[in-house]
Structure 1
Amino acid sequence: MFILRNHATFRRHRAFPMLCALLALLALSACSARTIHYAPTPETVHIVHLKNQDIGYRLVGEKTDACPLLLVMGYAVTMDSWDPMLVQQLANGRQVILFDNRGTGYSTASPTASPTGSSKPFSLQELAQDAAALLDHLGMDQADVMGWSMGSMVAQEMALRHPEKVRKVVLYATDYTSDEVVRIISDPTTFGSAQEGPIHLFPKEWIKAHQDIVRAIPPGAHPVTPAMAERQLNAIAKWQGTASRLPGLQQPLLLFVGQNDTITAQNKSLDIASMVPGSWLVRIKGGGHGIMFQAPQDMARIVDTFLRVQQNVSPGNEQ
């Protein structure tokens, strides 16, 4: 089951309960069966040089009249870690752009540093700038943006700092501050061993019932190095958050979170929903931080509905 709320308009617009009813027909279950196939999307990897680093990216799906969708990856993983079923469903009717954050996968980062010889630090704001620069390179004036975990923080920065580049925003497993996230991912017990797999992504009960899915998730073709993971963690730690800025968010917003997410708790998405008028909130019962692996088709249908639906029916504002 899921809970979907439009916090600013739920009580005022008759159309929205109808939308909720339509989405309810999806009968989403975090335990639904799926075919296990985790090979990365086969599309060609392109490399573009942007300022001081190369950015690796893939284009999935054909260009259409629909706004393209940019997917921003999270902490210590690469674009290969997006669930391929989710990506293919989202690319049905639009072009989807996947890319590696600087220093991960096919992307590079400046190795030069301070006089001490340590690696040059970077910020989440710089990662947002990288994403905006990639859209410029692709000749895309605007895109919908969906970020997961750390990527959702980058997506917030991108929407707030480059509002002209972002049409709609999807924040999947998000937070508006960094303290709690840093504490959790700094705890060595959060992540499982190589034998256990990515246990931090799912509720324990779900893991017991779906060992086949958990074991099938690969680390990606180019696993993130410990040094780069530390640089990302430092970028998260020094992030000042968006609590004071989110009320000014201009774009339609969808928040997507598992009710059993132990890294980005659902209350953080609830808080953001209360900050941003008109936001949509979807909470997945039984869902963890890796809900896209638990129910990729249902997640894709909800995101697709959000991206397609008309958000403003006020006179003179019809899309």
Structure 2
Amino acid sequence: MSAHLADQADTRYVTGPRGERFAYRRFGRAGTRPLVLHMRLRGTIDHWDPALLDLLAAEREVVVFDNRGTNFSTGEPPSTMEGLVDGSLALIGALGLEDVDVLGWSLGGIVAQGVALTAPGLVNRLVVAGSSPGGVPDLPPPPARVAQITGKGANDDEDFLYLFYPETERARAAGLASLRRLDRRLRESKAVVSPEAFRGQIAAISGFRGYWDRQAELTLPVLAANGAHDVMIHAYATFAMSQRLPDAKAVLYSDAGHGFLFQHPEDFAHEVNEFLGR
């Protein structure tokens, strides 16, 4: 049995407003405001590092889930950002939650912003990890190799190491350690985003006009964080957000990339718990 409490959390199901069935896990410190986590492109409920989840769950209740039509959840996979946001709100509503914090990584960071913009009375605080509001002027584009890797039918360790971690010995070691922590769930579940759901996510990103011009509407406290060497979404997006958001804190990890939250789970969890506990 895994030593991580997150690995021992049961997968549950709840029926959404369209008759779809959402897969989710809810665990951690009962009686606290739930923290709803939103996953990256091509990620599932089983691609969260349990080391990070355990540290977050020690301070608050945590909810992880598969969006509509993705992995263990049924329904039509969204093909727009609005659809992804609606899926998240449907899950939150189906659970009867009326006061939450939200955290999103990568694509999930955009979705989390959309949730806060669409339902401002629902969200208390927002954490945006390794992401962007979309439409950031002069944002450096990712290297061509990123599209080559993300376009593969499946990714191996070397692909994830390139996408998520700098090419240093310490970062690679931390990345491999995180990948091995993911193995326990993935070996059993075989969790995967179907080609249809992946195409929907790509379409959502391609058709997204961005929340750049709506940053001022996010008046709630926001924590934006990234690794300084992110090849997927340049860290400039995090800095740019901090200039537009009314109430924000920005954190950059100088030795990390897109997977900074798994490379430094203790430090990032401390940042998140302190921020949400204010």
8 Å CA contact 2:225–2:250 kept in 1: the answer is: yes
1:277-299 deviation per Cα after TM superposition (whole angstroms, max 9, x unaligned): 22100001111111122111111
Q: Is 2:193 the counterpart of 1:224?
A: yes
* CA shift for structure 1 position 62: 3.6
Structure 1 stretch displaced more, 87-96 or 143-152: 87-96
Alignment of 1:237-316 (within 5 A): 237-309=206-278
Query: Gapped runs of 5+ residues in structure 2?
Result: none
Name the counterpart of 1:82: 48
- The one-letter amino acid of 1:187's match is A
1:132-185 deviation per Cα after TM superposition (whole angstroms, max 9, x unaligned): 222222222110000000000000100001101100000001112269779868
Q: Is 2:165 the counterpart of 1:202?
A: yes
Q: Distance in 2 between matches of 1:172 and 1:140?
A: 23
Q: Which one of 10, 13, 27 corresponds to residue 47 of structure 1?
A: 13
Change (3 A) 1:96 1:121: closer
Change (3 A) 1:37 1:76: farther
8 Å CA contact 1:173–1:264 kept in 2: the answer is: yes
Q: Distance in 1 between matches of 2:143 and 2:14?
A: 34
Change (3 A) 1:266 1:160: same
Name the counterpart of 1:125: 82
* CA shift for structure 1 position 41: 2.2
* CA shift for structure 1 position 237: 0.9
Q: Is 2:177 the counterpart of 1:213?
A: yes
Change (3 A) 1:99 1:214: closer
Name the counterpart of 2:126: 169
* CA shift for structure 1 position 51: 3.1
Structure 1 stretch displaced more, 213-222 or 95-104: 213-222
8 Å CA contact 2:35–2:62 kept in 1: the answer is: yes
Change (3 A) 1:280 1:162: same
Change (3 A) 1:180 1:239: farther
Name the counterpart of 1:187: 147
Q: Distance in 1 between matches of 2:94 and 2:104?
A: 20
Name the counterpart of 1:91: 57
What TM-score results when the alignment is normalised by the length of structure 2? 0.85
Q: Distance in 2 between matches of 1:83 and 1:69?
A: 16
1:56-82 deviation per Cα after TM superposition (whole angstroms, max 9, x unaligned): 000011422x32100011100101111
Change (3 A) 1:181 1:151: farther
Q: Distance in 2 between matches of 1:186 and 1:295?
A: 22
SS at match of 2:270: helix
The percent of aligned pairs where both chains have the same amino acid is 28
Query: Gapped runs of 5+ residues in structure 1?
Result: 1-35, 111-119, 310-319
Name the counterpart of 1:59: 26
SS at match of 2:112: helix
8 Å CA contact 1:182–1:236 kept in 2: the answer is: no
* CA shift for structure 1 position 189: 4.0
- The one-letter amino acid of 1:171's match is V
Q: Tell me the C-alpha RMSD between the 2 structures.
A: 2.7
* CA shift for structure 1 position 215: 5.2
When Rg is computed on C-alpha atoms for both structures, the one with the higher figure is 1
1:82-133 deviation per Cα after TM superposition (whole angstroms, max 9, x unaligned): 11111111111321111012222211232xxxxxxxxx75322222122222
Structure 1 stretch displaced more, 294-303 or 181-190: 181-190
1:167-207 deviation per Cα after TM superposition (whole angstroms, max 9, x unaligned): 00000011122697798687214679526251211111145
Name the counterpart of 1:141: 98
Name the counterpart of 1:117: none
Change (3 A) 1:187 1:45: same
Q: Distance in 2 between matches of 1:71 and 1:181?
A: 26
What TM-score results when the alignment is normalised by the length of structure 1? 0.75
Name the counterpart of 1:312: none
Q: Distance in 2 between matches of 1:257 and 1:40?
A: 23
8 Å CA contact 1:207–1:214 kept in 2: the answer is: no
Is the helix fraction higher in 1 or 2?
Answer: 2
Q: Distance in 1 between matches of 2:147 and 2:5?
A: 29
